[in-house]
């Protein structure tokens, strides 16, 4: 059955600002809430407001530009009318930075559910449900209960009243696990600083090669923090990386060697940053994304272009052969390692490892030596991948 979501965005802080507009991960809290609801499968998503300030309207417009079905309403009856009869509705508290794992667990149920956290010091801001637990800010209600609550509401607060009715109606209680108690109810903007830091840390992907593990983290972190505040889309970064690599390949054929290498160097962190931005916006990139998959063959073309130029100038035909063979060995090693947890995989040949590792050769102008070294590196990686994978299969 389709799932809807209802998010409150009307509570103000002591300064008269909406909690929903507190900054989080370069956007606003309500944008994060809507993305969480959408990632859990909710559509439509209704944001209940008392007034619609320009900043909130802009935030919702950004979400619509991303294709998310979000609507703002200022009346609880209007909100209830947006959901079909019988539809389960994900209720999210105003000012809540939700724990996404707990949110998805709640969304998987078909019957009303109330998520709970312990009644301890860390959760004093959350609404009390009983003597031992508090509301985690997420619940699953049915459209009929929402409609009947709105009908008798009067001037009462919809969020609290609806929660009470669902609890009294015998909704299932879902206790947050130890790893799911990280939800935060913000009372002031500074409350979200720690939550934002945890989000950034959580988006760090597996460091699959030594270049991304040791050479690029600082650059990746800085770029992610800066770009998360912009409207730059992850796909744009991948396209930029492809353009830079293609330009480098062309530059190699024209003899613009060190300039082309700099283009390759600029492209190395872009896919890492794109993946982290996508994760922050709860729309992770699929491994099958075309622009992501094209980075490897484009880099191979750049390597062959370099070999072609060196071979036609001072390196002889052996340089071209070395580039072609290195590309073939690298692809074979990649195929061998794919789908297996190979010990020491970070040291095997990769696009980033090859580019970062080439720096001393580029600085010295040793282009023929670079091609020979890449050939040996790719060949050794193929041998190591085969040996280690076969040993894993034996064990």
Please list the pLDDT of the chain residue by residue as tens digits (395 residues).
689 999 999 888 878 889 999 999 888 999 999 999 999 999 999 999 988 899 999 999 999 998 899 999 988 899 999 999 889 999 999 999 999 999 999 999 989 999 999 888 888 889 998 888 999 999 999 999 999 998 887 545 788 889 989 999 889 999 888 777 778 999 888 989 889 988 888 888 778 899 999 999 999 999 999 998 888 999 999 999 999 999 999 999 999 999 999 999 999 999 999 999 999 988 889 889 999 999 999 999 999 999 999 999 977 889 999 999 999 999 999 998 887 777 888 999 999 999 999 999 999 999 999 999 999 999 999 999 888 877 766 66
Residues 255 and 380 grouped into a single domain: yes
One domain, residues 302 and 339? yes
DSSP codes joined into one string, 113-182: EEEEEESSGGGTTSPB-SSSEEEEEEEEEEHHHHHHHHHH-TTS-HHHHHHHHHHHTTPEEEEPPGGG--
| Residue 291 belongs to some domain of the structure | yes
Tell me the backbone φ, ψ of residue 185, rounded to 5 degrees. Answer: -105, 105
Nearest to 106 by CA among 135, 84, 133: 135
Other Cβ atoms closer than 10 A to 58: 11
CATH number at residue 84: 3.90.550.10
Residues 186 and 225 in one domain: no
Q: Give domain status of residue 198, yes or no.
A: no
Contact by Cβ (8 Å): 149, 208? no
Q: Is residue 290 part of a domain?
A: yes
Domain of residue 352: give its range.
207-394
Q: Are residues 17 and 112 in the same domain?
A: yes
Based on the fold, state whether residues 303 and 257 are members of the same structural domain.
yes
CA 355 distance to own-chain centroid? 25
Q: What is the pLDDT of residue 207?
A: 80
Q: Say yes or no: 63 and 107 in one domain.
A: yes
- Give which of 331, 310, 317, 316 is closest to 378, Cα–Cα: 331
Q: Are residues 136 and 80 in the same domain?
A: yes
In a domain, 89, yes or no: yes
Domain boundary among 143, 169, 193: 193
282 lies in some domain: yes
- Asked if residues 280 and 36 have their Cβ atoms less than 8 Å apart, the reply is no
Examine residue 97 and state whether it is found in any structural domain, yes or no: yes
Residue 14 CA to residue 22 CA, distance in Å, equals: 13
With tokens 């060995």, the residue in question is 329
Q: Domains in the chain: how many in total? A: 2
pTM, two decimals, is 0.85
The pLDDT score that the predictor gives to residue 394 is 66
Q: Are residues 183 and 213 in the same domain?
A: no
Contact 379, 386 (CB under 8 A): no
Spatial separation of the C-alpha atoms in residues 130 and 4, rounded to whole Å: 27
Q: Residue 235's domain is classified under what CATH number?
A: 1.20.120.1760
Residue 336 forms part of a structural domain: yes
Instruction: Find out whether 180 and 102 touch, Cβ atoms under 8 Å.
Output: yes
């Amino acid at each position: 059955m389709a799932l809807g979501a209802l998010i409150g965005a009307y509570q103000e802080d002591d300064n008269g600002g909406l909690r929903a507009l507190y900054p989080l991960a370069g956007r606003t809290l309500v944008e994060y809430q809507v993305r969480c609801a959408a990632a859990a499968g909710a559509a439509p998503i209704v944001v209940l407001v008392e007034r619609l300030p320009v900043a909130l309207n802009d935030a919702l417009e950004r979400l619509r530009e991303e294709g998310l079905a979000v609507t703002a309403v200022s009346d609880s009856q209007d909100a209830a009318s947006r959901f079909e009869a019988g539809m389960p509705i994900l209720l999210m508290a105003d000012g809540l930075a939700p724990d996404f794992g707990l949110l998805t667990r709640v969304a998987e149920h078909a019957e009303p559910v109330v998520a709970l956290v312990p009644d301890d010091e860390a959760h004093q801001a959350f609404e009390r449900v009983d003597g031992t637990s508090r509301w985690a800010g997420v619940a699953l209600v049915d459209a009929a209960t929402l409609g009947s609550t709105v009908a008798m509401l009067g001037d009462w607060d919809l969020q609290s009243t609806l929660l009470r009715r669902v609890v009294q109606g015998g909704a299932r209680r879902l206790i947050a696990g130890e790893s799911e108690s990280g939800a935060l109810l913000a009372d002031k903007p500074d409350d979200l600083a720690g939550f934002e830091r945890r989000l950034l840390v959580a988006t760090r992907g597996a460091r699959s090669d030594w270049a991304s593990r040791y050479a690029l983290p600082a650059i990746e972190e800085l770029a992610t923090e800066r770009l998360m505040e912009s409207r730059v889309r992850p796909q744009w970064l991948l396209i930029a990386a492809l353009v830079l690599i293609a330009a480098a390949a062309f530059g190699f054929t024209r003899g613009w060697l060190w300039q082309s290498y700099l283009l390759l160097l600029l492209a190395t962190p872009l896919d890492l940053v794109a993946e982290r931005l996508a994760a922050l916006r709860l729309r992770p990139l699929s491994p099958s994304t075309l622009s992501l998959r094209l980075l490897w063959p484009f880099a191979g073309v750049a390597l062959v272009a370099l070999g072609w130029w060196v071979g036609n100038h001072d390196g002889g035909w052996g340089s071209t052969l070395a580039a072609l063979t290195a590309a073939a060995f690298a692809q074979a090693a990649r195929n061998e390692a794919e789908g297996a947890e190979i010990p020491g995989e970070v040291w095997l040949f990769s696009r980033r490892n090859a580019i970062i590792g080439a720096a001393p050769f580029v600085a010295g102008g040793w282009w023929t030596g670079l091609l020979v070294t890449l050939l040996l590196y790719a060949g050794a990686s193929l041998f190591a991948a085969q040996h280690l994978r076969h040993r894993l299969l034996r064990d």
